[in-house]
Amino acid sequence: MTTTIDLTGRTALVTGSTQGIGAAIAAGLARAGATVAVNGRTAERVDDAVARLREETGLDTFVAAPGDVSTEAGAAAVVAAVPTVDVLVNNLGIFGSKPALEITDDEWRRYFEVNVLAAVRLTRAYLPGMTGRGWGRVQYIASDSAVVIPAEMIHYGTTKTALLAVARGFAKEAAGTGVTVNSVLAGPTHTGGVEEFVYQLVDRSLPWDEAQREFMRTHRPQSLLQRLIEPEEIAHMCVYLASPLASATTGGAVRVDGGYVDAILP
């Protein structure tokens, strides 16, 4: 039996998709046939990303949707640019290491605004249309850190834990409508931002391959993959969850963590 994922005629929005995991998800959805709205904070960055994705994939099905969705005004601008969405991937997120007792109130608020409330805001905007049409997919890019809270960034881990609850709650709101809502627990992934994060924790003089191995050995020893995950590997799961093939998967926390979470269930 041949299995084909076909999202022709569907419109997807991937937040924070100018680079990294978000860009990989956008490319994957476009290759499956979807029209994909690329989102970032500025029009210039989004336009550059759209051009890069078109060149990378050979597809012209990318549209620009600039706006800082961690603010009400930015989210409204995105919704105005893309009023109808069939697949919403809430990928936007920030992370960084800091001793737990040094995280200020302002930093806690910022992490919650960007990592949680932005996703809630867009779900609130797009979910009614999906349920009204009887089909839709909402995804939240969470993290292994939602389950295994890192000592060096508990503010990040806490917001990702919150996303698991948000996904489960909105899945109940969409019950019986043909709309599925899931979170994706991404493991340690190789992106430009993560390279900088790795070098915050290991010797900067090490070549990248050695630095990556040292980081995984010292700070992520639970990984069964024993390497960083590539963004395209996260994207594969997101494309599947966006497809009709995943019609019975909802309210779940689906793991693409390289076996990092040491549990049968998340």
User: With b meaning 16 or more CB within 10 Å and e meaning fewer, what string describes 139-157?
Assistant: bbbbbbbbbbbbebbbbbb
Which listed residue (156, 199, 240, 260) is catalytic?
156
Q: How many helices (H) and strands (E) does the chain have?
A: 9, 7
Separation between Cα atoms, residue 123 and residue 182, nearest integer Å: 12
- Angle formed at CA 129 by CA 23 and CA 45, multiple of 5 degrees: 25
Helices marked H in 7-117: 20-31, 43-57, 72-81, 105-112
User: With b meaning 16 or more CB within 10 Å and e meaning fewer, what string describes 249-261?
Assistant: ebbbbbbbbbebb
Q: E strands along 104-230, which residues? A: 136-143, 179-186
Q: Which of 188, 231, 235 is nearest to 211 (CA)?
A: 188
The two structure tokens encoding residue 75:
């989210």
156 among known catalytic residues: yes
Would you please indicate which residues are annotated as catalytic (active-site) residues? 156
